[in-house]
């Protein structure tokens, strides 16, 4: 999965934490994307088995989608927290974490988490 798909999954997870029912328009508003762009992105996630969309338009995670969303969400929070803890301002830390979370290997991320637990 690419960065774009991960961003959609993370956004859906964040929105689900705020409210139980999430629709494409909520994702579009949150990400400041056009509805056609979001429809395409969600269609790809649906095709690849990460989400389902019911007859009323509500987006739900599959087990695979929930796992992927939680993984990227955890990366964002660990990385932004780490960057903030070493003196990076919160906005920059969040923006940089958003970029890093998509390219860091599992091996490096797990080593960073282990280091931070010490």
pLDDT of residue 106: 93
What's the pLDDT tens digit per position in 9-44?
A: 999 999 999 998 999 999 999 999 999 999 999 999
Number of Cβ atoms within 10 Å of the Cβ of 11 = 22
What's the pLDDT tens digit per position in 52-78?
A: 999 999 999 999 999 999 999 999 999
Q: Give the chain's domains with CATH numbers.
A: 3-62 (1.10.10.10), 68-117 (1.10.60.10)
pLDDT of residue 43: 94
Which residue matches tokens 């993984």? 71
**Would the pLDDT of 88 be above 90?**
yes
Number of Cβ atoms within 10 Å of the Cβ of 30 = 15
């Amino acid at each position: 999965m690419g960065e774009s798909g991960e961003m959609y999954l993370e956004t859906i997870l964040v929105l689900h934490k705020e409210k139980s029912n999430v629709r494409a328009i909520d994702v579009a508003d949150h990400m400041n994307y056009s509805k056609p762009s979001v429809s395409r992105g969600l269609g790809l996630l649906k095709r690849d088995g990460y989400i389902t969309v019911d007859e009323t338009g509500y987006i739900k995670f599959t087990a695979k989608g929930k796992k992927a969303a939680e993984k990227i969400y955890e990366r964002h929070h660990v990385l932004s927290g780490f960057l903030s803890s070493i003196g990076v301002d919160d906005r920059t830390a969040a923006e940089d974490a958003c970029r890093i979370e998509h390219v860091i290997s599992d091996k490096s991320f797990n080593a960073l988490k282990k280091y931070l637990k010490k």
